[in-house]
Amino acid sequence: MQINQKNMDDLTLKVSIKVDKEDYAEDMNKRLKDFRHRADIRGFRKGMAPMGLIEKMYGGQALADALNSVVSQQISKYIEDNKLNIIGEPLPSEDNDNTADEGDSYTFDFDLGVAPEITVDVTSEDTIPYYTITVSAKAVNDYKENLLRQYGNMQSGEAAGEDDFVVVDFKQGETEVKDAYVALRSIADEAKSIFLGIKKDEVKDLDVNAVFPNDSDRAAMLHMKKEELKDMDPMWQMTVKDVKTFVAAKPEPETFDRIFGKDVVKDEAGFDAKVKDLLKNEYARESDYRFAADVRDYLLKKADVKLPEAFLKRWLIRVNEGKFTAEDIEKEFDAFTKDFRWQMICNHLMKAHNMEVTKEDLDKEAKALAAYQFAMYGMNDVPEDQLAGFADRLLGDDDQARRLYDKVEADKVVAYVKDAVTLEKKKTTVEKMRAQK
């Protein structure tokens, strides 16, 4: 057996493996004997067919399997012995010719993508901006209004307004639909004037096709199936039973207890202070998120990591065969390589500064994600054991576990950079910060 290496460029190698007959013959013969042992061929007792017949029937497969086994072992051993830091997996060269030569020897060529050496680091000589968002009086007032609306309720009103609901009965001959809720915001603009200002007990005739142009909405409103609409007379009599308007909660102790818990906030001054603290925490998260994005961009530019892009495209096409086309991969390639470079930089800095991701780190991150997902459904006080169980399920999913690991690793790298560099502190408004995303 002979193995040769050729540098195609700085980041791509070609490794040629010449396999002689003595390298694969023993493996091939074992496979043929196994085929013979398992063969149940008509005219012969099981396992007793002549070897010549077995070679004729299964020789090609036995040879291919033996060669594949030998070559796979040798390319892996070569990479390990030569301490090659490769990207992805070895790919058969596009110009491979696996036909045997006169001595029953075969030559296999493989392309290898080499991971570049990364030396990037940061010191106090590196400067990265860190934005602090100012909490404005308008932001405090808007947040308070949203909270009070969130804890408000529907009450009977007088004349219907833009944001109100109208409770109506529909009637057409003997057919009646009772207590239908009509949201004025869902009505076609050209028909909205019919409802604006309408009051309880008013009766109107209306064309439901014009008022509710969406078939699904119209069918739901009239308690019908969509296919029944085409045969329906669109003119219905509507009687207003009630006008429902949404009334925000009042800024009073009872409301504060519902929002924040018993006696946490006692008056409007405390309400202002609490909301300001909530906004500061929210803005701090936005500042950290922006800083993390700036750190990523800064390190990507400073490291200027080169990749064997042609090799990477071939490898991605191969490992994603049946999932993505070459056109799909080409379209997403820039985003992929940016993420790939960032991951390599994170790995380098983690190793260079003896940082690691522990099980405790992953458990904490998984619980935080679980708490966030519960909070999206209004569940803010989930018991610890329930959070832990949900976190375990997240970590039991390989894809989720990988994403959580990458998140923790990136957070550690960003924290290291924040301590190491000089922060150029800048004040900004939330509007400017969000406009830059």
Tokens of 383: 């018991």
Written as one letter, the residue type at 46 is K
pLDDT tens digits, residue range 285-325? 999 999 999 999 999 999 999 999 999 999 999 999 889 99
| Phi, then psi, of 17 in degrees rounded to 5 | -120, 115
pLDDT tens track for 355-379 = 999 999 999 999 999 998 888 887 7
Query: Virtual CA dihedral for 372, 377, 380, 384, nearest 10 degrees?
Result: -70
SS3 155: strand
* Helices H / strands E in the chain, number of each: 13, 11
Distance of alpha carbon 184 from alpha carbon 167, whole angstroms: 11
In 10 A of CB 46, how many CB atoms? 11
- The Cα 339–Cα 333 span in angstroms is 10
Q: Tell me: the pLDDT tens digits for 86-131?
A: 999 999 998 776 666 656 889 999 999 999 999 999 999 999 999 9
Give the whole-angstrom CA distance, residue 364 versus residue 370: 10
Query: Which pLDDT belongs to residue 99?
Result: 67
Domains of the chain (ranges; CATH) run: 2-114 (3.30.70.1050), 127-141+280-435 (1.10.3120), 153-247 (3.10.50)
**Beta bridge partners of residue 240, listed in sequence order:** 168
Give the separation between CA 81 and CA 10, rounded to whole angstroms: 20
pLDDT of the residue at 353: 97
Instruction: Report residue 37's pLDDT band, with 50, 70 and 90 as the boundaries.
Output: confident
* Res 191: pLDDT: 85
* Residue 151 backbone dihedrals phi, psi, to 5 degrees: -105, 15
Average pLDDT over the chain, rounded to an integer: 92
Q: Please tell me the predicted confidence (pLDDT) of residue 437.
A: 63
Model confidence over 257-295: pLDDT tens digits?
A: 999 989 999 999 999 999 999 999 999 999 999 999 999
Half-sphere exposure of 401 (CA within 13 A, CB side): 8
DSSP 249: P
* pLDDT exceeds 90 at position 170: yes
